[in-house]
Amino acid sequence: MLPGADVPTASAVDLHARASANFEAKLHETVVTLLKAAATGPVTQASSLGAEDMVITHLINQHALPVPVFVLDTGALHAETLALLDQLAAQQARHPHAPLTVYRPVRESVVQFVAREGRDAMYKSIDLRKACCGVRKMEPLARALHGQAGWVTGLRREQSGARAEVPLIDRAEEESKRLLKYNPLADWTWGDVWHYIGRHKVPYNPLHDQFYPSIGCAPCTRAITLGEDFRAGRWWWEDEQAKECGLHVKTPEGIAA
């Protein structure tokens, strides 16, 4: 939905589905990367329920890969995201090779944080926003990745400058944590993602139809306008360089922060 409009003018598929000339080669590379991930040992897909992650889950199901899926329900997601989570749960119940697990923050930790810092703490400083992400995302993520040899993400190089060099297989944590990160859509464009969604009728978050390309927690996500950066709607009150929650940030030593 265009900002200020009353009704959607077109779906995200109509607006964005434009396959690259070499899309089929990219798709083959993606499937090969997922096959490598599945052969790693215990490996799981981290799904934010964004367009990219819904594509990856579809491919996991299509090829019957033993890659379970997990979602972090932060307790602050949009109603549309929660509805898609319910839809995904019903879908994955039909795919026992890739069961869905939902991880939530420790309730007492959230209660204490809100009591101490307030419900709008994320707007007060970057440190407080990251602390909120720590409670709602990072701690549950640690539980989700415990015992895993690898994880699959929807990172793409086109998403932001900070992700411009995302490799198909990230070995930065292989030595320190014995953990590989697989990014099978690293080379895909936004048009490729929506071309696949349209071709295979993949379910997606209706917020994408309302100009939300990147969707996180409700207080920290807004629609973008024409010409804005892909991730401009995430933590829009902060400096561009700070726009990560910690899930995909590395320290100088290469360890995820």
Q: What share of the chain is helix, strand, coil (3-state, %, to 5)?
A: 45, 10, 45
133, 217, 220, 245: the catalytic one is 245
How far apart CA 10 and CA 175 sit, in angstroms, is 47
Query: What residues contact residue 235 under an 8 Å CB cut-off, 6+ apart?
Result: 122, 129, 220, 242, 243
Phi-psi category of 209—alpha, beta or left, where left has phi over 0 and alpha has psi -120 to 50? alpha
71: enclosing H helix or E strand:
strand 69-72
What token pair was written down for 249? Answer: 């940030």
How far apart CA 94 and CA 105 sit, in angstroms, is 27
Q: Count of alpha carbons within 13 Å of 19, Cβ hemisphere only?
A: 12
Active site residue 245: yes
User: Catalytic site residues?
Assistant: 245
